[in-house]
Structure 1
Amino acid sequence: NVPEAGSEVQISKLASTGHGLIFTTSFGYMNPTIKAAKKFPKVIFEHATGFKRSKNVGTYSARFYEGRHVIGLIAGKMTKSNVLGYVASFPIPEVIRGINATFLAARSVNPKVRLKIIWVSTWFDPGKEADAAKALIDQGADMIFTHTDSTAALIVAEKRGKFGFGQGSDMSKFAPKAHLTGIIDNWTPYYTRRVREVLNGTWKPADTWEGFKEGMVQLAPYNKGNPLRKGI
């Protein structure tokens, strides 16, 4: 895990040691990637979730909001308190879209639902994420969403007898009772495709945004003990 503040040094180090294709996989790596790309014009860079491109920099992201719409529907149907809790990282477009998709979907099946948000200003800090989840539950939330990368919020939900949803991968083993389902980021097909293009000499900078249809966004298995499972 490379801190965003020092990422330009690490990206440049990769570029200067013979790596011809470099994936930079955090929104905060955007400007450092662009700077490194200017210094190493023969190296190809792929930046995740950003919006700045150049002759040797492509961008890619997933339609995460599609998955968040589904988990919003589930939460709206299952909540008993009508309070949903969202552990949010940074107020960037990806996260704002996720919040909106979740809330609008939940509201479509339960007009009484309210959504409480706590911003933790980090992608990965288990302590902060856990504290945020605890605070949301203390405020009445019985469904916990996370837009960060650790399992901390789910583990809190498990301990407190609430439900939650995974982020990025199948997190069910960390909270087998609380985890209802989750969003899986399946980058493998995209990475494979772009590597082949580099090897074939056909790579061109592009802005790729794929979702359920292309398999970039997937859902983790539904919790077998979920009473709503039959209706999904």
Structure 2
Amino acid sequence: MKLKTISKVLATAALAGGMSVAQAEDPINIGFVYVGPTGDAGWTYAHDEARKYVEEQLGDKVKTTYVESVPEGADGERVIRQLASKGNDLIFTTSFGYMNPTLKVAKKFPKVAFEHASGYKRADNMGTYFTRAYQGRYLTGLIAGKMTESNVLGYVASFPIPEVIRGINAFTKGAKEVNPDVQVKVVWASTWYDPAKEREAAETLILQGADVLTQHTDSAAVIQAAEAKGKY
């Protein structure tokens, strides 16, 4: 995202948060709520790199803070409320399970702007954002369908929510387009970030004949498990 675009987003967020023009000249305080650790090498890491980029590009126009490894649910609501109470003008809640807690807190803090990743509920001061990740998953499906020799592909999934199911469907569609005989086997890890569970899921898929694996979880454990077994 270019600097001009970032500035426009922050200016819009400032207005959505009910700040006056004079107030908008002060640094915009931005809070981030992360579902995993910043060192997960995946989802949270990418979000935090973006946070750092905003600071680098906008300098003293913004001041950011973050809380990592926040469980979805009651703990999420508590942390979101704390960030709103501490004077943040804009808060990013970066996991699907923060959707209802974010909406609840947004109603209590109408002058704060909230942006929620991957959800579908909105309010006057709460928006949503997400990438078209399913497009990339479709392309990896095309590749996996051509590469497999066993005709079994493995997919380590987190939770059965819209964004994850979209990804599985897109990957499967791509694979079957080039290889109608291919099977996509899914193991639900029931976590976003738990390297042990993710590795166990990957090893289970390999035992079931999968020779190409993909994932919708946040650690590198699936990649490491595949490499250890000589799989893609």
Query: TM-score scaled by structure 1?
Result: 0.69
Aligned residue type for 1:155: Q
1:139 counterpart residue number: 208
1:23 counterpart residue number: 92
Q: Which has more strand, going by share of residues?
A: 1
Matched, 1:105 2:174: yes
Aligned residue type for 2:72: E
Tell me by how many angstroms 1:120 deviates: 1.1
Tell me by how many angstroms 1:144 deviates: 0.5
Tell me by how many angstroms 1:38 deviates: 1.0
- Write the mapping of 1:43-58 to structure 2, written as runs, cut at 5 A: 43-58=112-127
Secondary structure, in 3 states, of the residue corresponding to 1:117? strand
Larger-gyration structure (1/2)? 2
Tell me by how many angstroms 1:136 deviates: 0.1
Aligned residue type for 2:136: G
Secondary structure, in 3 states, of the residue corresponding to 2:119? coil
2:51 counterpart residue number: none
Matched, 1:3 2:86: no
1:75 counterpart residue number: 144
Tell me by how many angstroms 1:87 deviates: 0.3
Distance 2:122 2:166 in 1: 22
Instruction: Return the match for 1:95 from 153, 164, 167.
Output: 164
1:122 counterpart residue number: 191
Distance 2:161 2:118 in 1: 10
Secondary structure, in 3 states, of the residue corresponding to 2:130? strand
Distance 1:96 1:16 in 2: 35
Secondary structure, in 3 states, of the residue corresponding to 1:22? strand
2:22 counterpart residue number: none
Aligned residue type for 1:61: F
Distance 2:169 2:94 in 1: 23
Secondary structure, in 3 states, of the residue corresponding to 1:37? helix
Distance 1:38 1:104 in 2: 40
Tell me by how many angstroms 1:100 deviates: 0.7
Secondary structure, in 3 states, of the residue corresponding to 1:47? strand
- Write the mapping of 1:183-194 to structure 2, written as runs, cut at 5 A: none
Tell me by how many angstroms 1:42 deviates: 0.4
Matched, 1:41 2:92: no
Q: Which has more helix, going by share of residues?
A: 2
**CA offset digits 1:35-90 (Å, max 9, x no partner):** 11011110000000001100100011111110001100000010011100000111
State how many pairs are aligned.
163
Tell me by how many angstroms 1:112 deviates: 1.2
Query: TM-score scaled by structure 2?
Result: 0.69
Tell me by how many angstroms 1:121 deviates: 1.1
Distance 1:65 1:34 in 2: 25
Segments of structure 2 that go 5 or more residues without pairing to the other structure are 1-68
**CA offset digits 1:167-203 (Å, max 9, x no partner):** xxxxxxxxxxxxxxxxxxxxxxxxxxxxxxxxxxxxx
1:212 counterpart residue number: none
Distance 1:63 1:113 in 2: 24
**CA offset digits 1:108-149 (Å, max 9, x no partner):** 111110010001111111111000000000000001110011
Distance 2:200 2:126 in 1: 37
Q: Which runs of 4+ in 1 moved over 3 A?
A: none
Percent sequence identity is 64
Distance 1:18 1:32 in 2: 18
